[in-house]
Amino acid sequence: MSPRRAGARALSVALLVGATSALADPPRGTLPPAPWTSVDPFPLPGAGVTAPLRLPDGRLAVFTRAPSTLALLDESSGTVRSSPVEEPPSDRVAPRCDARGRLVILGAGGTLFRLGLDGRVRVAAQLPGELLGVVERADGSEIAAVSSHQRVDFVTLRADGSVASVRSLSASPMTTPATLEGGRVAVGVPRGLAVFDPAGTVRLVPSVEGLRHLVSVDHGALAVTATAVFPLDPDGVVAPPRPLPAPTRWWSSSEGATALAWVDGPPPAVLRVDRTGAWVRVDAPPFAESAVLDESGAMLLVSRLGRLVALDRDGQERWVVDLRRAIVPRVTLGEHGEAWVTAVDGNLLRLSSRAPSSQEAPRAHR
């Protein structure tokens, strides 16, 4: 896997991986059968605002504010090195690594920055409006979808991060971008979908009324309304709908075979949805703010108050860990099965199933 793909995967999948069994390290990408029992804090120079990002060289990167820094943790030595940054990243787009090992962040002012590991700006791409999302292409280029004065702009970024071209459609965007088959990128607009073709053309494709979300899943996309989900073909044309059990509050896109959606109920639940729109409902506690599947189909639910719940594929509760502190609600896999979490109180936490070596341990039960 390339550093670019590894960085992207770490952001989207590490919520679920990064656990340790009491007997042996589990396979990468699976939740452990037993909960984490030990917490080791590593002080950060400020309040953590991003989940730990695994870098190609194995270190972990976290951005902080007050002061604004890029903190890098070397697991082998336990050393945290920090460098000042101009501003912490916006929480609307998760930081990631590009193919050249640079950190890509959206600044609070709307500029897409690429930083070296010393925190210095290497490339700054000033976007023409509010960033909706960035889609990566196989050739290393990227497409940024931007909302700008009642129009949607598709900004092509070169591999070095600079702006290559801008193509627009006069329509107010309503969704984040999703990738269709064949390299096309779609954004929901009032009259349908704005579809950007690899050749550089933008066209309007009529779509469903009441569009709320576009969701990427398994190299395809779904259009979602309050009552149904519609698979999209490579041109953005909708297929027959699949009714939903209730309106969905949030969706988690996936490069794998399953996307996730949250419904408030009653009772509250997570829907596991495939690219055809077929779904399976799993009852879930109401606190969950994010959820991701692991490779076996097990699920980890995460809250900002530090409560982590693992569910088996059939929805049965496997275990619960309560960190009893506020966190950035994402979990990142460690090198040896441990997990890493950013606490907002200024610590990077290592979770493991080793004998407790810190003053506090998570409250865990099965």
* Least confident window among 192-206, 245-259, 303-317: 245-259
Please count the structural domains in the chain. 2
Confidence of residue 107 (pLDDT cuts 50, 70, 90): confident
- 15 versus 191: the higher-pLDDT residue is 191
| pTM exceeding the 0.85 threshold for the entire prediction | no
Pair 182, 246 in one domain: no
**Rounded to an integer, what distance in angstroms lies between the CA atom of residue 174 and that of residue 193?**
9
Q: Would residue 216 count as lying in a domain? A: yes
At 301, which amino acid appears? L
pLDDT tier for residue 11 given thresholds of 50, 70 and 90: very low
Distances (CA, A) of 116 to 102, 107, 296: 5, 15, 36
**Does residue 139 sit within a domain?**
yes
The more confidently predicted of residues 288 and 23 is 288
152: containing domain: 131-206
Residue 199 CA to residue 50 CA, distance in Å, equals 35
DSSP, res 227: S
- 33-90: pLDDT as tens digits: 889 889 999 999 999 999 999 898 889 999 999 899 999 999 889 999 999 998 778 8
Comparing 153-167, 270-284, 304-318, 346-360, the range with the smallest average pLDDT is 346-360
Can you read off the two tokens belonging to residue 298? 């097990």
Per the DSSP assignment, residues forming a β-bridge with 72 are 61, 81
Are 270 and 211 found together in one domain?
A: yes
Mean pLDDT of the chain: 84
Asked whether residue 8 is assigned to any structural domain, the reply reads no
| Pairing state between β 332-333 and 290-293 | unpaired
Domain final residue, candidates 206, 221, 245: 206
Q: Which of 149, 177, 206 is the last residue of a domain?
A: 206
> 10 Å Cβ neighbour count for 134?
20
